[in-house]
Amino acid sequence: MIKRVRVIIKGIVQGVGFRPFIYRLANECSLTGSINNDLQGVEIEVQGLYDNIEAFLMQVKAQAPPVSRIKSMETRSMDTVPDEKSFSIKTSIITGNQAPEICPDISICEKCIDEMTDINNRRHEYPFINCTDCGPRYSIINSLPYDRPNTSMAFFEMCSKCKAEYNSHDNRRFHAQPVSCYDCGPVLYSPTDRKQKDIISYAISLLKSGKIIAVKGIGGFHLACDACSDEPVKRLRESKARGEKPFAVMVPDIKYAEKFAYLDKGSKEILLSNASPAVILQKKPDSPLSEYISPNINTYGILLPYTPLHYLLFHYNGPDKPHFKALVMTSANISSKPLIKDEKEFKKLNDSNIYDIISHNREIVNRIDDSVVGRCRNGLIFYRRSRGYAPFSMKLPSSNRQTLCLGAEMKNTIALTADDTCHISPYIGDLKDVDTFLYMLETMKKLKGIYRIRPERISCDKHPLYENTKWARKEAYDRIEIQHHHAHIASVAGEKQYFSDTIGVAFDGSGYGDDGNIWGGEFFLGNPLRYIRAGHLNYTKLQGGRTVPKQPFRTAISYLYQVYGKDFSDIDIPVLKTIDHETIRLITDGLAKDINTFQSSSLGRLFDTVSAISGLRLINSYEGQAAIELEASLSSTYAAYSEKGIYPYDINLVNDVYIIDTKPVIKAVIYDTESKAKISTISLKFHNTIADIILSVCRLLREKTGIRTVMLSGGVFQNRYLRELSDKLLSNSSFDPYFNNMVSPGDEGISYGQAVISSLL
């Protein structure tokens, strides 16, 4: 008997070769009907024998294209259509209000690399080769549905050969929107030297001679130079005014990654995945990379070539050995400003160190930074979820009014909700910068348009000085203000879809507390709807306002003042010798007279203090440097938790809240520093102490409530050692610990946490 079924599929099903896949499958199963992209996803109708329809439905899920992601699939019986002869692909029509998910940009695929390196192929060494499995997506999209006229490829008219591939159902470029070739596609050029015929050779020769060049990529420009040569890397540091912040390094292939860093199976898979992020990997000794790539830390951020142009910079003219062992590929921007996406913006940079620009005429519609991920024993850690992974959609506990979630200020992302789905933007940046703030507004407008969301409410952080909160308070929307650390914990609850009461451990640099103090070492009891602050690190008065996170020595002196009063000049630690007396006096006077001071329970600041007291880092040249270097000083010791011991601390119950007194920790760190203990030992003991504090307080809270599920979030949980150790200790003591694996545990994850909470309000 002939039947007809309508199938609605939602998820990432546009721009990923889904329609040709369905077309082939329907023909294989001898079915007639049609497929159509609409704003919901794809809509398929198939008609044929019952068994054939069953076989078709089974294989849709089993054989879906590699980049697609099916979130839901609904089927419904229909009346049969008489005399239907074939299966057809309909042109997209726009119906419905809510948009499907956008496919992130995809790194070049193996098949395209094969064609590009085949001298007889018409796209031999063509720097814009792509197919339905690979190429730019989000970065070129103006609006949905994802069809060529809605992308920056609209500008290029397909030649007859490309058109034939695009229209041929059995071609691997069937409906690949960015398809192009030498005859019809974008071209490379150098804006300063337009006479250059062979741009790629030119770029390679510049890099070989130690020059820094800008290279247009997928979501913005990179600054590139030879990563094995000190001199250009040093110059690049000056150019970007980024102090000692590590540079990402691109290597020709996975074998080279393995030469420079330790790679486990999981890290390899991420490196080779089609998101192609930079992966944080432990350095190997004797690596030929310049020591200026990531000074004072034991890791590299390594990524593989993800555009055809990147690939050609290493392998042009098919050399046996790649032209470079490694290239620095760092985002081109002035620090804390948005990524540069066109040549006009370069003019503002006005940097004589950048020798030339390698550009092309395919417009970047949406900027997007490289993603940065790390791996630890309990899964993926996102340091930055962006190109290849974003924008992305997450589930919410409840359907509610459409809401715009503004995230945190420093590592901002925004989120838009519709029904029970939350769409999260790529990484935006630090909103204290005016241009970044404008970029946030631009992203908001763009995503509202793409997803067709008209928010009726705003949710934002409680911090009265956050630029986005100030903006939200001026807007006429309904507004929900959410405590920063509550949002951190809710982001884990959302990821794990677990909304009952839990213990929450929120450790980070800083967030605005309900009492107006700066929090960051918090224990909560509750769920996304309500929470109580059940414990926290003791308050310490810090002096210096916004300079505090940049100057760990300042925090250290505030801590010394808390422990010893004004009387600590006889202590024999490096910070007191390096920082001049006058500065120290100004800080202690400020503390005594409450000038520019605030109370902090932040663990991030305690990390800064230990880093400064032990003499490791007194002034940060980039955000979080003191804490990152303290983790790095553990090097490969990763010794057992009990081996090197822990520092003493006290827990006091005050008004039913557990207050962790860290003064004994400070005294013990001073003692170890005076006794010339190795920094790695101090660091290990300190990390072990924090994990022990987590375990002890969780035990006390479990005794009180019986709750044994623990959610841990906040920037501190980007620290791999601490994350793995607290996971192990809690698991061994019969707790169920959960960490972020899908959104960043840092402030990039706040917008999603806000969305989770708002959906319940």
> Which spans of this chain sit near Zn ion (rule: CB under 5 A)?
109, 112, 131, 133-134, 159, 162, 181, 183-184
629 binds, among Zn ion, Fe ion, none (CB under 5 to 8 A by kind): none
Least gap, CB of 715 to Fe ion (angstroms): 5
Sorted by sequence, the CB contacts under 8 Å of residue 393 that are 6+ apart come out as 101, 421, 422, 423, 424
Quote the CA–CA distance of 625 and 694 in Å, as a whole number.
23
Least gap, CB of 309 to Zn ion (angstroms): 14
For residue 391, which phi and psi values (nearest 5 degrees)? -65, 160
Least gap, CB of 404 to Zn ion (angstroms): 36
Which lies closer to Fe ion via its Cβ, residue 522 or residue 747? 747
Q: Which stretch binds Fe ion (CB under 5 A): 193-201, 301-309, 510-518, 587-595?
A: 510-518
Within 310-349, the residues that bind Fe ion by CB under 5 A are: none
Least gap, CB of 705 to Fe ion (angstroms): 25
Q: For the chain, what is the radius of gyration of the CA atoms?
A: 27
Least gap, CB of 290 to Fe ion (angstroms): 33
Which lies closer to Zn ion via its Cβ, residue 67 or residue 109? 109
x-or-dash string of contact with Fe ion, 287-306, rule CB under 5 A: --------------------
Q: Tokens 């994802």 identify what position?
A: 146
Quote the CA–CA distance of 168 and 424 in Å, as a whole number.
35
508 binds, among Zn ion, Fe ion, none (CB under 5 to 8 A by kind): Fe ion
Which lies closer to Fe ion via its Cβ, residue 87 or residue 466? 466
Sorted by sequence, the CB contacts under 8 Å of residue 515 that are 6+ apart come out as none
Least gap, CB of 165 to Zn ion (angstroms): 8
8 binds, among Zn ion, Fe ion, none (CB under 5 to 8 A by kind): none
Which lies closer to Fe ion via its Cβ, residue 431 or residue 670? 431
Quote the CA–CA distance of 395 and 499 in Å, as a whole number.
13
- Is residue 506 within a helix (H) or strand (E), and if so which, with residue range? strand 502-512
Say if strands 531-537 and 540-543 run parallel, antiparallel, or are unpaired: unpaired
Which lies closer to Zn ion via its Cβ, residue 184 or residue 586? 184
Which lies closer to Zn ion via its Cβ, residue 159 or residue 707? 159
Look at residue 165 and give its three-state secondary structure.
helix
Which lies closer to Fe ion via its Cβ, residue 429 or residue 511? 511
Least gap, CB of 720 to Zn ion (angstroms): 33
Is residue 747 involved in binding Fe ion (CB under 5 A)?
yes
Q: Tokens 């011991």 identify what position?
A: 645
Say if strands 657-661 and 531-537 run parallel, antiparallel, or are unpaired: parallel
672 binds, among Fe ion, Zn ion, none (CB under 5 to 8 A by kind): none
Q: Which stretch binds Fe ion (CB under 5 A): 63-71, 509-517, 546-554, 570-578?
A: 509-517
Quote the CA–CA distance of 478 and 602 in Å, as a whole number.
31
Look at residue 445 and give its three-state secondary structure.
helix
Which lies closer to Fe ion via its Cβ, residue 147 or residue 409? 409
Say if strands 2-12 and 41-49 run parallel, antiparallel, or are unpaired: antiparallel
Q: Which of 356, 433, 508, 522 binds Fe ion (CB under 5 A)?
A: 508
Least gap, CB of 745 to Fe ion (angstroms): 9
Least gap, CB of 390 to Zn ion (angstroms): 21
Quote the CA–CA distance of 25 and 219 in Å, as a whole number.
34
Quote the CA–CA distance of 10 and 12 in Å, as a whole number.
7
Which lies closer to Fe ion via its Cβ, residue 100 or residue 407? 407
Q: Which stretch binds Fe ion (CB under 5 A): 245-253, 398-406, 428-436, 502-510?
A: 502-510
Least gap, CB of 15 to Zn ion (angstroms): 13
Look at residue 637 and give its three-state secondary structure.
coil
Least gap, CB of 66 to Zn ion (angstroms): 10
Sheet containing strand 212-216, edge to edge, reads 188-189, 354-360, 212-216, 221-226, 327-331, 248-250, 299-303, 278-282, 372-376, 379-384
Point out the residue whose Cβ comes nearest to Fe ion.
508
181 binds, among Fe ion, Zn ion, none (CB under 5 to 8 A by kind): Zn ion
Residue 319 to residues 312, 322, 324, 382, 657, Cα–Cα distance (Å): 10, 6, 11, 35, 66
Contact 215, 222 (CB under 8 A): yes
Residue 701 to residues 161, 289, 402, 725, Cα–Cα distance (Å): 68, 48, 36, 19
Determine how many CB atoms are found less than 10 A away from the CB of residue 91.
8
Q: Which tokens is 451 given?
A: 């997803």
Q: Which tokens is 586 given?
A: 């100004």
Q: Which tokens is 219 given?
A: 């979501």
Which lies closer to Fe ion via its Cβ, residue 139 or residue 491? 491
Is residue 522 involved in binding Fe ion (CB under 5 A)?
no
Sorted by sequence, the CB contacts under 8 Å of residue 198 that are 6+ apart come out as none
Least gap, CB of 325 to Zn ion (angstroms): 26
Within 99-128, the residues that bind Fe ion by CB under 5 A are: none
2 binds, among Fe ion, Zn ion, none (CB under 5 to 8 A by kind): none
Determine how many CB atoms are found less than 10 A away from the CB of residue 53.
22
Which lies closer to Zn ion via its Cβ, residue 178 or residue 590? 178
Which lies closer to Fe ion via its Cβ, residue 261 or residue 711? 711
Which lies closer to Zn ion via its Cβ, residue 184 or residue 677? 184
Which lies closer to Fe ion via its Cβ, residue 115 or residue 747? 747
Q: Which tokens is 636 given?
A: 């490969």
207 binds, among Fe ion, Zn ion, none (CB under 5 to 8 A by kind): none
Which lies closer to Zn ion via its Cβ, residue 133 or residue 369? 133
Q: At what angle do helices 720-732 and 679-705 cross, to 10 degrees?
A: 40
747 binds, among Zn ion, Fe ion, none (CB under 5 to 8 A by kind): Fe ion
Quote the CA–CA distance of 265 and 254 in Å, as a whole number.
12
Quote the CA–CA distance of 373 and 375 in Å, as a whole number.
7
571 binds, among Fe ion, Zn ion, none (CB under 5 to 8 A by kind): none
How many residues appear in the chain? Answer: 761
661 binds, among Fe ion, Zn ion, none (CB under 5 to 8 A by kind): none
Least gap, CB of 749 to Fe ion (angstroms): 8
Least gap, CB of 721 to Fe ion (angstroms): 19
Please count the residues of this chain forming the interface with Fe ion, following the rule CB under 5 A.
3
Residue 142 to residues 44, 151, 191, 308, 446, Cα–Cα distance (Å): 25, 5, 25, 23, 8
Report the DSSP beta bridge partners of residue 225.
328
The number of C-alpha atoms within 13 Å of 152 and in the hemisphere containing its C-beta is: 17
Least gap, CB of 137 to Zn ion (angstroms): 12
* Nearest to 326, CA basis, from 420, 232, 228, 259: 228
162 binds, among Zn ion, Fe ion, none (CB under 5 to 8 A by kind): Zn ion
User: ∠ at Cα 716 (711, 722), nearest 5°?
Assistant: 80
Q: Which stretch binds Fe ion (CB under 5 A): 36-44, 88-96, 643-651, 744-752?
A: 744-752
The strand ranges marked E within 684-741 are: 709-713, 736-739
183 binds, among Fe ion, Zn ion, none (CB under 5 to 8 A by kind): Zn ion
Least gap, CB of 314 to Zn ion (angstroms): 18
134 binds, among Fe ion, Zn ion, none (CB under 5 to 8 A by kind): Zn ion
Within 561-590, the residues that bind Fe ion by CB under 5 A are: none
Least gap, CB of 485 to Fe ion (angstroms): 7
381 binds, among Zn ion, Fe ion, none (CB under 5 to 8 A by kind): none
748 binds, among Zn ion, Fe ion, none (CB under 5 to 8 A by kind): none
Which lies closer to Fe ion via its Cβ, residue 584 or residue 755? 755
Which lies closer to Zn ion via its Cβ, residue 110 or residue 193? 110
The distance of Cα 607 from the centroid of its chain, to the nearest Å, equals 23
Interacting residues with Fe ion (CB under 5 A): 508, 511, 747
